[in-house]
Amino acid sequence: MRYCPLFLTAFAALLLLANSGESQEKRVMKSELPPAVQKAVESESKGATVRGYSSEVENGQREYEVEMTVNGHSRDVTFAADGTILEVEEQVAVQDLPAAVRRGLRQKAGSGRIRKIESLRKRGKIVAYEAEVIKSEERYEIQVGPDGKTLPHPE
């Protein structure tokens, strides 16, 4: 039996869509969050402007994220379904970074321009700093550890 290339391409596209749908980030309403997450969000967003909520599956577990602005900078908090905080990404000003982190980010950015820097906190501890870099028309992210050195794996 011979299959035409168009059929094979369409079939492959359907497989990709079926497999990627579970892990894609999806915008949700606050009312769609589990009660434990709603309660945790209330606590974590005091004094902040909430920009939105999303949900996605990571490592087989449903996670919920709230994007907010606090005192003019971004702060995104990811929660487990039981309301436990999994990760906090918080914008950091260059002058507030440890000198080793500034040097490490500058070195990794090379001739690119650093646009936005965030600390990544897991289990209450900073595990990395990441920065958005713009070089020519390209945008990409770089990461260093809390000591400014290259991480063994991305956080």
Q: Which pLDDT tens digits describe the chain residue by residue (155 residues)?
A: 444 444 444 444 444 444 444 568 999 999 999 999 999 999 999 999 999 999 999 999 999 999 999 999 999 999 999 999 999 999 999 999 999 999 999 999 999 999 999 999 999 999 999 999 999 989 999 999 999 999 999 89
Query: The whole model's pTM is what?
Result: 0.80
Domain 25-86 indexed as CATH 3.40.50: no
Contacts of 86 (CB under 8 A, 6+ apart): 63, 78, 79, 80, 122
Distances (CA, A) of 11 to 4, 20, 24, 74: 11, 14, 20, 41
Q: Torsion over CA of 83, 86, 91 and 92, rounded to 10 degrees?
A: 120
State how far the Cα of 96 lies from the Cα of 85, in Å rounded to an integer.
24
